[in-house]
């Protein structure tokens, strides 16, 4: 077949594209999502295929996946192993359908096990915990808007049923390669990358993306210091001798260290902006989120849709919590919920 070569702007369309020997990138459309698509990667094997990420439970995405497999002379029954980089619906949503259709073995990161269990068995608990976090950080208006929109237009399930195995590192033998499973917590607790050291190929999931930084702090159960883990995970992969990076969103790229440095710099800038907002009088995560710009276009908080406002508040919490951990902010409580002040207590 003729390889499809995308431009940076056209990465979400076309395909499948052969990105390395026997490895094909399949962009799967995302319904009602500004990201447009998620990349699934099919690695053809002599004794069955490996699929890395698999798209939403969505008819259009499913049609693109199955037709792409047909074009490649593969098929659902050829997929022996489905490796999900993390639990989010665009990466794991169709896993149950794929397993039912062809018997694929499904793995997910150990750090995502509790979140996966909650989403599979009690999605209402997941929603209530998201609401509690928003209320605790002064974002009651966002919580109410999310509930209204969820009632009017429910999203497809993120996970059903549970994976076959939860893993936390180790090796994954495939097609004569000893692939290393790299725990890279941050975007989620259990996020995994897959490293082929012999070929210098990194399947990066959402950990290192070419044009955007992944959301931080959006999972259940909430808590911990997700931004700290994300920054450490970036440093962990920075010096891998990668010849090719295969991200979950966006075109493939080569300069892993350069992109990691950009992401580290981006978050240091965001930490500084959050600190400045608190020093100027913002006390809650909601107030800080309203004070700082969002996306590469530097949009105002009120220009974001409700879902992205929720992501913005959660990411702001992650930044403020890290500043508190570093001793640059102090935590307190008032009738508004959790409040942050400069370490000296003044404005």
pLDDT at 247: 98
| Residue 166 included in any domain | yes
Residue 132 lies in a domain: no
- Torsion angle, alpha carbons of 230, 232, 238, 240, to 10: -110
Q: Is residue 243 located within the same domain as residue 98?
A: yes
8-state DSSP, 139: -
| 143 inside domain | no
Is residue 32 scored above 80 in pLDDT? no
Q: Do 88 and 160 have their domain in common?
A: yes
Of 255, 271, 286, the domain-final residue? 255
Tokens linked to 53: 């990420």
Whether 310 and 243 share a structural domain: no
Q: Determine the pLDDT at residue 149.
A: 87
The answer on pLDDT for 70 being more than 50 is yes
Domain-located, residue 226: yes
Phi–psi pair at 330, nearest 5 degrees: -115, 145
Over residues 280-302, the pLDDT tens digits come to 999 999 999 999 999 888 999 99
Percentage of the chain beyond pLDDT 70 is 94
User: d(Cα 95, Cα 54) in Å, to the nearest integer?
Assistant: 7
Residues 78-98: tens digit of each pLDDT: 999 999 999 999 999 999 999
pLDDT for 218: 81
Does 321 or 344 have the greater pLDDT score?
Answer: 321
pLDDT higher at 39 or 116: 39
Query: Using 50, 70 and 90 to split pLDDT, how confident is the model at 140?
Result: very high
Does residue 315 lie in a domain region?
A: yes
Q: What is the pLDDT of residue 296?
A: 85
As a whole number, the mean pLDDT across the chain is 91
**Whole-number pLDDT of residue 9:** 60
Output the pLDDT for position 159: 65
3 within a domain of the structure (yes/no): no
**Same domain, residue pair 39 and 76:** yes
When divided into structural domains, the chain yields a total of 2
Residues 268 and 166 in one domain: no
> pLDDT digits over 333-347, tens only?
988 789 999 987 544
- Which of 233, 255, 277 delimits the end of a domain? 255
Is residue 149 packed enough to be buried (19+ CB in 10 Å), middle (13-18) or exposed (0-12)?
middle
The model's confidence at residue 5, banded by pLDDT at 50, 70 and 90, is: very low
In a domain, 267, yes or no: yes
So what's the pLDDT on residue 119? Answer: 83
Q: Mean pLDDT over residues 123-135, rounded?
A: 89
- Asked whether residue 11 is domain-assigned, the answer is no
As a whole number of angstroms, the distance between CA 167 and CA 113 comes to: 9
Dihedral angle computed from the Cα positions of residues 272, 276, 278 and 280, in that order, rounded to the nearest 10 degrees: 180
Indicate if 68 and 42 belong to the same structural domain.
yes
Could you report the per-residue pLDDT of 207-222, keeping only the tens digit for each? 999 999 999 978 877 6
**Whole-angstrom Cα distance, residue 183 to residue 197?**
15
Say which range, 61-70, 214-223, 268-277, 305-314, has the weakest mean pLDDT.
214-223
Q: Check whether 162 has a pLDDT greater than 90.
A: no
**Cis omega (within 30 of 0) on the bond before 111?**
no
Calculate what percentage of the chain has a pLDDT beyond 90. Answer: 78
pLDDT score at 8 = 60
pLDDT for residue 138 is more than 50: yes
**87 and 219 in one domain?**
yes
**For residue 4, what pLDDT band results from cuts at 50, 70 and 90?**
very low
* Mean of pLDDT values over 101-113: 95
How many whole angstroms separate alpha carbon 160 and alpha carbon 187? 21
We report the CATH number of the domain holding residue 315 as 1.10.10
Considering the entire predicted model, what is its pTM? 0.93
What confidence score (pLDDT) does residue 1 get? Answer: 32
Q: Do 67 and 162 have their domain in common?
A: yes
Confidence of residue 121 (pLDDT cuts 50, 70, 90): confident
Instruction: Let me know whether 232 and 250 are in one domain.
Output: yes
Judgement on whether residues 177 and 324 belong to the same structural domain of the protein: no
CA angle 164, 159, 314 (to 5 degrees): 125
Do residues 86 and 158 lie in contact, with contact meaning Cβ atoms separated by under 8 Å? Answer: no
Q: Both 40 and 96 in a single domain?
A: yes
> Which backbone phi and psi does 326 adopt, to 5 degrees?
-75, -10
Same domain, 213 and 75: yes
111 DSSP 8-state letter: G
For residues 344 and 282, the answer to whether their CB atoms sit within 8 Å is: no
Q: Which of residues 312 and 118 earns the better pLDDT score?
A: 312
| Amino acid 335: pLDDT | 81
Domain boundary among 255, 285, 302: 255
Is-contact 284 76, C-beta < 8 A? no
Over residues 243-267, the pLDDT tens digits come to 999 999 999 999 999 999 999 999 9
CATH label of the domain that carries residue 35: 3.60.15.10
CA–CA separation, 185 and 164 (whole Å): 20
pLDDT score of 151:
83
Domain span at residue 224?
17-118+155-255
How many whole angstroms separate alpha carbon 93 and alpha carbon 127?
17
């Amino acid at each position: 077949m003729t390889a499809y070569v995308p431009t940076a702007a056209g990465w979400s369309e076309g395909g499948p594209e052969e990105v390395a020997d026997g490895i094909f990138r399949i962009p799967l459309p995302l319904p009602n999502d500004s990201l447009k698509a998620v990349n699934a990667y099919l690695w053809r094997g002599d004794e069955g295929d490996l699929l890395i990420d698999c798209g939403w439970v969505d008819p259009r995405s499913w049609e693109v996946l199955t037709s792409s497999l047909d074009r490649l002379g593969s098929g659902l029954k050829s997929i022996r192993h489905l490796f999900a980089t993390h639990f989010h619906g665009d990466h794991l949503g169709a896993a149950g359908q794929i397993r039912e259709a062809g018997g694929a073995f499904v793995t997910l990161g150990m750090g995502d096990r509790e979140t996966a269990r909650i989403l599979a068995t009690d999605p209402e608990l997941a929603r209530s915990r998201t609401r509690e976090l928003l209320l605790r950080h002064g974002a009651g208006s966002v919580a109410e808007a999310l509930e209204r929109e969820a009632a009017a237009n429910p999203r497809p399930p993120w996970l059903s049923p549970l994976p076959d195995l939860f893993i936390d590192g180790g090796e994954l033998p495939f097609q004569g390669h000893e692939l290393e499973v790299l725990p890279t917590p941050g975007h989620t607790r259990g996020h995994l990358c897959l490293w082929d050291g012999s070929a210098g190929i990194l399947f990066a999931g959402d950990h290192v993306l070419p044009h955007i930084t992944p959301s931080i702090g959006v999972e259940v159960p909430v808590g911990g210091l997700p931004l700290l883990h994300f920054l450490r995970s970036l440093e962990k992969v920075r010096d891998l001798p990668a010849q090719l990076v295969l991200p979950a969103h966006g075109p493939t790229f080569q300069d892993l260290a350069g992109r990691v440095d950009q992401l580290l710099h981006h978050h240091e800038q965001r930490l500084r902006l959050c600190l400045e907002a608190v020093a100027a009088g913002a006390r809650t995560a909601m107030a800080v989120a309203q004070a700082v710009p969002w996306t590469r276009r530097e949009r105002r908080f009120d220009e974001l849709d409700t879902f992205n406002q929720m992501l913005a508040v959660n990411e702001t919490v992650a930044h403020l919590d890290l500043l508190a951990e570093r001793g640059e902010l102090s935590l307190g409580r008032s009738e508004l919920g959790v409040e942050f002040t400069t370490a000296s207590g003044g404005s």
